[in-house]
Amino acid sequence: MDDATLSGFAALLRERREAAERTLLRNSEDGRDLLSARGDGTADDEHDPEGSTLSGEWAMLEALRADTEHELAEIDAALLRQQSGTYGRCAECGRDIPEARLRARPMTRTCVACAEVVERR
């Protein structure tokens, strides 16, 4: 992979990292709002037939937070692979990962053939 292409992927990864950080910030703000609503002694949302419960919203926020933190870890790992010179090489077989796959999944560690094998395990 040439330097210009690698640089383009680095920029894409940094953009995705910034977006994930914004998601975590919004998630944190929503969590504070939800904690405030949960602390309201008059809130009886468990019996409200019109909407989701605060507990349900809390669970969704936690799932989003966990997914976003996982995405950040994958992005950071991809950026480290770029620094070490292994980005774009399959972690399983060592062959180059096609650029089309990297464009679709810039954090991927495997080529399509190896990803299919890993999924079957």
Q: Per-residue pLDDT tens for 41-79?
A: 555 555 555 555 777 887 888 999 999 999 999 999 999
Residues with Cβ < 8 Å from 116, sequence gap 6 or more?
Answer: none
97 and 73 share a domain? no
Phi and psi dihedrals of 89, rounded to 5?
Answer: -110, 135
User: Over 60: is that where the pLDDT of 19 sits?
Assistant: yes
* pLDDT of res. 118: 82
CA distance 37 to 58: 11
Q: Mean pLDDT of all residues in the chain?
A: 87
Residue given tokens 């419960």 in the structure block:
53
Bridge partners of residue 38, in order along the sequence: none
* pLDDT of res. 28: 87
19 and 43 share a domain? yes
74 and 105 share a domain? no
72 and 97 share a domain? no
* pLDDT of res. 38: 60
Kindly state the average pLDDT of the residues 8-15: 96
**pTM of structure:** 0.79
Q: Tally the domains of the chain.
A: 2
Range of the domain at 65: 3-87
